[in-house]
Amino acid sequence: MTEPSPAPPRPNRHKMVFVTWLGIYPTITTVLSVLMPVLLPRLPLPLVTLIVTAIVVPLMGYVVMPNLVRWLHHWLHR
């Protein structure tokens, strides 16, 4: 039986925080710029925030962060 290969080292927490911000800021800005003119005049802010976060969280988890981590892999694991 072969030994399992060791897990790769985790990236530095400060770098991951920066990469998360790098993904969150433009994603939220884009979603807000598209939805605010339509939603804010019609709905209360807490409901607008609920809708925006319901869009942004899956985008971050399935699209933005996987791509950022792949693109910045060499910097993250330096």
Residue 6 within a domain = no
Residue 58 within a domain = yes
Residue 72 within a domain = yes
13-58 pLDDT, tens digit each: 999 999 999 999 999 999 999 999 999 899 999 999 999 999 999 9
Q: Where does the pLDDT of residue 65 fall: very low under 50, low under 70, confident under 90, or very high at 90 and above? A: very high
Split into its structural domains, the chain has a count of 1
Q: What is the DSSP string of the chain?
A: -PPPPPPPPPPPHHHHHHHHHHHHHHHHHHHHHHHHHHHTTTS-HHHHHHHHHHHHHHHIIIIIHHHHHHHTHHHHT-
What pLDDT sits at residue 1? 65
Query: By residue range, what is the domain housing residue 20?
Result: 13-76
Residue 25 within a domain = yes
6-17 pLDDT, tens digit each: 877 888 999 999
